[in-house]
Amino acid sequence: GESEVWGKGLPPSGETGKVLTEFLQKNYPDPLGASFQWGKTLRDYGDIIYQGTDSWRNGYYDVRQGFAAAYLISGSREWADALDRTVRHYLDVDTIHWSEAHPDHVGLPHGYGINHTSMDPWNPITRANGVFAAAHLWANSEYYDAALKMAEQVARTGRAVGAVSVRDHAGILMTLATAYRETGDPLFKEAGKRLIEDIAENRVDPRRGTYPEVHGNWNYRGNVPWMVAQLMEPLYIFYEATGDVQAASLMVGLADSILAENQTRGVPGDIHGYSHNPHFTKNSGYHVLIAPCLFYAYDLTGDESFKEAAQAAWEQTVREETINSVINCFWNTPALLYYLREFERSPPKTDTGGQ
């Protein structure tokens, strides 16, 4: 069911739940061991190698919320233990506990890097949602306090105001939106509202509804759906928690821009999820992150085109065996499961061996 802690989610049942459960079982048979490149030393324990840069992930992209999602879908204690392990490392090693040069960094995580502390805080992974999830799952007040400290720091310093990348805004807004949902503290609501106004006034193209990005194309700014989805999620959470119409309007505009600019005309769900660059091969691997956000837009508007695209995108990623990695962009699958069950359209039956 629904709760303030987990947002939208349902126990896995029916064909959709079966597909996701089998995906986890087949691709991650040993979450605490060989399924991931876990660190072995005292300092590295609890973190995972990021193969893209041969460095430590430091939670990239959202390992914590991905593990929480895997636990909710599978019910396996191993995923809960993996979440606890990675949050423990995140707070002990990745988090900045003191800085004379940058007191505004205290309480925030280093970005991914070669020794856990080589990169300054990076907004896209400054996401408190997974830390809150671990706090509730394990009744751990230390985790809860750390998530609140992160949120208080970004709220008081106005972090990400003036940012020029959608995922910079997204990571910080996720922290503010979930902190407000948790506490009702006006500090987080006011900071979130400032950030939303910055997005609306300085970044989103009001004619297109899109957040113009350079990811994948330096010459032309356009929609990057897998990064736009990262912003749509906290916009929806913020709207649900506050009733803020501007947040809802931005979210729906972003969804509409995905259908207009990134979806093959006449083919619902055939979304070029990685980049707006037309020379790139279409990648359906981010559909599990994009589809629930299209459902959010349907939830707010009743526009059938959003629902049809979301359902078709899910069916395509199952058919093409491209469900995203649990340590990358898997984290919003409980919401996807909720909506797919809500609208009772089952995905095609097929093998789910790929990622």
CA distances from 333 to 127, 138, 203, 214 (A): 17, 21, 28, 27
150 part of a folded domain:
yes
Q: Which domain holds residue 87?
A: 14-342
Q: In angstroms, rounded to a whole number, what is the distance separating the alpha carbons of residues 276 and 153?
A: 34
Q: In angstroms, rounded to a whole number, what is the distance separating the alpha carbons of residues 7 and 310?
A: 19
User: What integer pLDDT is reported at residue 3 of this predicted model?
Assistant: 43
208 part of a folded domain:
yes
125 part of a folded domain:
yes
4 part of a folded domain:
no
- Condensed to tens digits (0 to 9), the pLDDT of residues 162-185 reads 999 999 999 999 999 999 999 999
Cα dihedral across residues 4, 6, 9, 12: positive or negative: negative
Confidence of residue 4 (pLDDT cuts 50, 70, 90): low
Q: How far apart are the first and last CA of the chain?
A: 28
Q: Is the pLDDT of residue 10 over 70?
A: no
37 part of a folded domain:
yes
pTM: 0.95
- Condensed to tens digits (0 to 9), the pLDDT of residues 113-149 reads 999 999 999 999 999 999 999 999 999 999 999 999 9
167 part of a folded domain:
yes
170 part of a folded domain:
yes
Structure tokens at 206: 């009001």
44 part of a folded domain:
yes
Helices (H), 115-165: 129-138, 141-157
Helix, strand, coil shares of the chain, percent, nearest 5, are: 55, 5, 40
- Are 196 and 238 a contacting pair, CB within 8 Å? yes
User: What integer pLDDT is reported at residue 16 of this predicted model?
Assistant: 85
Respond yes or no on whether the N-terminal peptide bond of residue 28 is cis (omega within 30° of 0).
no
In this structure, how many other beta carbons lie within 10 angstroms of the beta carbon of residue 106? 15
> Which CATH number covers residue 331?
1.50.10.10
